[in-house]
């Protein structure tokens, strides 16, 4: 039988992190599921040639991002990256309440896109070019996996006996994890990515 931990009603940073940890442990199957899907679609994007129309769209999308950020300084770039990642994580998590469909589609698209771009980078500059992805990926990918995994878990409230209480519980826990875990990870990732872009081009 699962032991219920009692928390005090007064705000405590330590207790907030303990609540996060409990909820993440409860949600680990969903997070592992997201990781698995990301890996599968990363390899699909990396090894399988994309249809010409999709290939063209991805290249235009990446070129558009590069044009937007071309003349940005460090702070502008940091803000741009952080805001985009936070929006993606937040909306995938919250809109996961609709049966978990959006986060599932998002992780498929993200895995495929990262695999495709990695493949293009290897073709242009060899496997050494991939090392630039690792420093910020160490922090960004866990944030993505957690937010998308919790988004899928959020959608399961519909299968609970007391749907209203389950929705409220998942909503509060997801928001808590977003504030105390995901945002700090994305801030660190954005600092590293902005620094790499500015100093390494």
Residue 7 belongs to a domain: no
| Structural domains in the chain (count) | 1
Residue 20 belongs to a domain: no
Residue 4 belongs to a domain: no
Query: Taking the model in full, what pTM does it have?
Result: 0.85
**Cα separation, 30 vs 48, whole angstroms:** 27
Residue 12 belongs to a domain: no
Residue 195 belongs to a domain: yes
What is the model's pLDDT at position 196?
A: 82
**Cα separation, 2 vs 175, whole angstroms:** 24
**What SS3 class is residue 72?**
coil
Q: Give pLDDT tens digits along the chain (201 positions).
A: 445 555 556 667 778 888 889 999 999 999 999 999 999 999 999 998 778 888 888 888 878 887 887 788 889 999 999 999 999 999 989 888 787 788 888 999 999 988 988 888 888 777 776 776 676 788 899 999 999 999 999 999 999 989 999 999 999 999 999 999 999 999 999 999 888 878 765
What is the model's pLDDT at position 127?
A: 72
| Domain of residue 152, residue span | 39-200
**What SS3 class is residue 152?**
helix
Residue 111 belongs to a domain: yes
Q: How many CB atoms lie within 10 A of CB 138?
A: 13
What is the model's pLDDT at position 200?
A: 67
* Radius of gyration for the chain, computed over Cα atoms and rounded to the nearest angstrom: 19
């Amino acid at each position: 039988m699962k032991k219920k931990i009692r928390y005090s009603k007064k705000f405590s940073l330590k207790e907030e992190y303990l609540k996060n940890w409990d909820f993440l442990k409860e949600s680990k199957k969903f997070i592992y599921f997201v990781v698995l899907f990301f890996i599968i679609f990363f390899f699909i994007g990396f090894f399988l040639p994309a249809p010409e129309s999709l290939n063209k769209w991805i290249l235009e999308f990446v070129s558009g991002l590069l044009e937007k950020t071309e003349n940005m300084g460090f702070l502008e770039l940091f803000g741009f990256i952080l805001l985009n990642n936070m929006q993606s994580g937040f909306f995938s998590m919250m809109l996961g309440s609709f049966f978990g469909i959006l986060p599932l589609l998002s992780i498929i698209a993200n895995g495929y896109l990262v695999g495709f771009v990695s493949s293009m980078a290897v073709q242009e500059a060899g496997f050494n070019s991939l090392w630039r992805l690792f420093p910020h990926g160490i922090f960004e990918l866990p944030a993505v996996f957690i937010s998308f995994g919790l988004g899928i878990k959020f959608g399961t409230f519909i299968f609970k006996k007391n749907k209203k209480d389950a929705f409220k519980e998942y909503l509060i826990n997801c928001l808590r994890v977003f504030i105390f875990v995901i945002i700090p990870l994305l801030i660190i990732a954005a600092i590293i990515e902005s620094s790499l872009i500015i100093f390494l081009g």
